[in-house]
Amino acid sequence: MTEEKMIFLRKLKYIIMYTERISELTHKFFDGTCSEQEKQELALWIKANPDELLAQVLEKEWDGFESEIKMPAYVSERILGKIIASKTAVTEDDIFEEEQPRRYLWPQIAAAAILILSFGLYWWSKQDQSQVARQPVPAVQLADIAPGGNKAILTLGDGSSIVLDGAKNGNLTSQGSTNVTKSKKGELIYNASGATDQAVVFNTVATPKGGQYHIVLSDGSKVWLNAASSLRFPTSFTGKERKVEITGEVYFEIAHNEKMPFIVRANDTEIAVLGTHFNVMAYADEKVMKTTLLEGSVKVSKAGKSAMLSPGQQARINRISDHIRLVDDVDTDKEMAWKNGYFQFQDDNLENIMRQISRWYDVDVTYEGNPGKETFTGRLPRNGNVSKVFKILSLSGVKFRIEGKSIIVTP
């Protein structure tokens, strides 16, 4: 082996080992466990290496860290170019210097911006590149609001109520022939004794803005309520059908029973099932009611019109016309994002997004200026404070201000 080849192999081995080290540092930075010394090491490497290698490391580590969505090429190139070209900190305005017709809430943008903007990363000094100067960029200070959680009020047949988030685990009450308990997981569970001589008793579970709750009905059906929603139901099912009423947004996993169909009533619309998984979004402040089918089949009926749904289909009913429109191949992940702990947007306008945030964080939203018709795409966690959500949203150019329990949006 020639000396040149030996030198080349040693260099290659060094590059591989050091790239693995930088990959580790990048992962730790995204994970929030990077020390000050490691941040300095990472910043030195960023300054010294080409765009392509940095892009590879960022993409690999961020993909493994949180994201399921890819960054648009024009944004990636702009961010990486400014990281390498600039000897001073880069601002959000630099990254988004060209107005785009569609705004993206890509998690990678947030990651790259964090890498550039915050927590004391180090950049080469113009005067002396042997010294590293710490140049933190002042963070935008926002009042903070905690996310929603398991909150609901149970109204019993006699009109009395129980605040479920404050109730102890175990047996709560008896309703007719049914025992009502709260599990260690915070679920509300109805256990019917099987007696049929008791009068039918109706209960209602209602979540406030900033609340959600999980209920197991007496037939074993499972129900999840989103924020600002309600479910009225019999404590035990008798007769030829199982009928409940809802407001807001509710997800059902219905226990199969051919002899007793399950009927959901919402906004003068009926949804009939035998055993299936489906989501109903019927908020009063939304123009369209949506029923999304995940498994089985359902029949949606209103004003003498009806439609049968297959898995992956969605029935949309306009509140004004009562027309039922079927949509094929709907994005069920988006429709179920709320239950799985996310906000997920796909070409959604700002007002639609802010209505969801308003319900989950229990805030009022006002606008300074016209919200416009631009659309947004992205996925954000629901378990963080509202300031975390706004830090990501603000990278798309929208400005937010929090005053008490109000959010003022400047599009």
State both tokens at 232.
Answer: 């009225």
What does the buried/exposed string (b/e) look like for 171-209 if buried means 16 or more CB atoms within 10 Å of the residue's CB? ebbebbbbbbebeeebbbbbebeeeeeeeebebbbbbbb
Question: 390 CB contacts (<8 Å, ≥6 apart)?
Answer: 142, 400
**pLDDT given for residue 346 in this prediction:** 87
pLDDT in tens, 95-153: 333 434 455 554 444 444 444 433 333 332 223 333 333 334 333 444 589 999 999 99
- Tokens 């005067």 belong to which residue? 127
**pLDDT given for residue 389 in this prediction:** 84
Which pLDDT band holds residue 9 (cuts at 50, 70, 90)? low
Query: Is residue 7 over pLDDT 70?
Result: no
**Exposed/middle/buried for residue 15 (C-beta within 10 Å: 0-12, 13-18, 19+):** exposed
Query: Pairing mode, if any, of strands 262-266 and 242-253?
Result: parallel
Point out the least confidently predicted range of 30-44, 187-201, 312-326: 30-44
Q: What is the mean pLDDT of residues 266-284?
A: 95
Which pLDDT band holds residue 376 (cuts at 50, 70, 90)? confident
228/68: higher pLDDT: 228
Query: Is residue 13 over pLDDT 90?
Result: no
Output the pTM of the full model.
Answer: 0.69
Average pLDDT, the chain: 78
Q: What is the mean pLDDT of residues 355-379?
A: 91
**pLDDT given for residue 193 in this prediction:** 79
H or E element at residue 57: helix 51-65
**pLDDT given for residue 156 in this prediction:** 97
**pLDDT given for residue 231 in this prediction:** 98
pLDDT in tens, 167-226: 999 999 999 889 999 999 999 999 987 666 678 899 999 999 999 999 999 999 999 999
Q: Which value, to the nearest 10 degrees, does the dihedral of the CA atoms of residues 110, 114, 116, 122 take?
A: -170
**pLDDT given for residue 227 in this prediction:** 98
Q: Kindly list the structural domains of the chain, giving each domain's residue range(s) and its CATH number in brackets, ordered by start.
A: 3-134 (no CATH), 149-292 (2.60.120.1440), 348-410 (3.55.50.30)
Which pLDDT band holds residue 266 (cuts at 50, 70, 90)? very high
Enumerate the β-bridge partners of residue 245: 232, 265
pLDDT in tens, 44-95: 766 565 445 555 555 555 454 444 444 444 444 444 454 444 434 434 343 3
Vertex 385: Cα angle to 382 and 386 (nearest 5): 85
Longest alpha-carbon distance in the chain: 95
DSSP 230: E
The amino acid that residue 287 corresponds to is: K
